[in-house]
Amino acid sequence: MKQTSKPKKVNKIALGFLLFALFLLGFYLFIALYYTKGFSFYTFINGKYCTGMTIEEANEVLKAEYTYPGFTLTKGEELVGTYDSVTKEDIDFSKELSTILAKQNPFTWPVNLFTMQKSGRLSRQLQPEIRFNRDEIAAWYYSLLSIQKENTGEHVVRLHYSTENGYTLEDTKYSALDVEKALIQVTEAICSGELSYDLIVHDLYHAIPYTAEDKEVLDSFGQIKEQTDFTITYDLGGESFSLGYPDLCNLLSPGDDGLYRYDDEKVEKYIASLSDTYDTYKKERTLTTYSGKMITVSGGTYGNEINQKEEVKFLKDALAKKENTTHEMVYSHKALSGGLNDLGDTYIEVDIPNQKLTCIKDGKLFLETDVVTGNMLRHRDTPSGVYYIYGKQKNRVLRGPGYASHVNFWMPVVRGVGIHDALWRDEFGGDIYQTEGSHGCINTPYDNMKLLYENIEVGTPVLIYDE
């Protein structure tokens, strides 16, 4: 009986499997041997794909991508300087790369093929070794302006004076930096890879003792502060202002004994300056009319005049007491309102060129009317200036050379000149005043004069201008 050929077929299949296995083993060993000199499959370092790279190759790739962030030196919140003098030649990842490669098993590369993409097992973040030049660090350190100032060890204590700020104390340092010790610690911080360093946090300052001269300056400043630790508020009767630290300093003078005292001459000059600023009585003044016209008037009987003698006395007493106080200004001549705006919000304007009388009451237009003022042809011009209503009378007979005129409402302003009705006139305004004007008074239509008389009180300012 003959045997079949089936076993030969089985042998061919087995042989095929054997050959395929040998191929896989050879491929596996080939790849494994390939990775013995380079990084294994799917190796990422600092985000760069380093598979198959040697240490030298990976080092160059990482160096090209790395940027030194710089070292920041501070003094509290103050920036002293930033060091960033690092080149690519100073950077080296070789040591860390060698450690990774030494721990790598090239024969486990198939595991990476199936698992590394998800696990990130061979993903690494490395910091380089940086070769810092200590001489360059020292040169940078000593080039810093703040360090140069600290290195002088200068300690300035002195008083400064200005009329705007009074006395101010300059004290440049309460402590000084140990410059040499700081250099050692800053250098070590940079070389160890630290990116910031605070001189105050690391306790590198030591106190500078005050000299005897320094203490004298400090004592003087303390005395000045004690002398000026109060405020005088002046109430002008309409506006106010305060005499505070700088102003009080301006009244002090140092004595031969080094003590600061208030100077009587300076006090008198200060009160005189207040008069120059706030006095309006009989002074030229520039005003804006209710209509918005800018005018300049001088003279008149209305305005404020500070009583300098009384104010000097008050200020000397107040400076001696050194207490917070509010003081009402004393006037030798007083308007209804104090301060520069002494017209207040109720007053009368007489515009001679336009022959208009305007009355403002409580800040609002109350009355506007045509009038007739003094006869220019006969040189009886109505006087310009700032005056006030100093009386009120009904049914008054006005008398003068060659005339006697009855008026229903009389409001005198200055030297027999006043505001009144004029029933003998049929027309007001225009250029009547140039040839047929009054004896100097402000002639006003009856109805408007009645309204004015009934609503305006004695003392109300009257601004008369001829521009």
- pLDDT tens digits, one per residue of 117-176: 444 445 678 888 889 999 999 999 999 988 887 777 677 899 999 999 999 999 877 678
Q: What pLDDT does 32 receive? A: 57
Give the model's confidence band at 111: pLDDT under 50 very low, under 70 low, under 90 confident, else very high.
low
Distance CA 210, CA 190 (A): 35
Give strand pairing partners of 130.
91
Which has the minimum average pLDDT: 64-68, 374-378, 451-455? 64-68
More confident residue, 126 or 448: 448
For the chain, what percent of residues have pLDDT higher than 70?
Answer: 87
Q: How many residues are listed for the chain in this entry?
A: 467
Could you count the other beta carbons within 10 Å of the beta carbon of residue 396? 18
Which residue in this structure is represented by tokens 């041997």?
A: 33
**What b/e string do you get for 45-82 counting C-beta neighbours within 10 Å, with b at 16 or more?**
bbeeebbbbebeebbebbbeebebeebbbbbeeeebbe
Instruction: Record the tokens describing residue 307, joined without a space.
Output: 């009583």
Instruction: Record the tokens describing residue 123, joined without a space.
Output: 């993903």
Which residue in this structure is represented by tokens 């005339």?
A: 403
Mean pLDDT, to the nearest integer, of 83-90?
A: 89
Its pTM stands at: 0.63
Which has the minimum average pLDDT: 52-56, 72-76, 324-328, 359-363? 52-56
> What single string gives the DSSP state of each residue in 203-238?
T-EEEPPPPHHHHHHHHHHHHHHHHT---EEEE-SS
Contact criterion met (CB below 8 Å) for 130 and 52: no
The separation between the first and the last C-alpha atoms of the chain, rounded to the nearest angstrom, is 154
What does the pLDDT look like over 25-37, one tens digit per residue? 655 555 555 666 7
Q: What pLDDT does 307 receive? A: 96
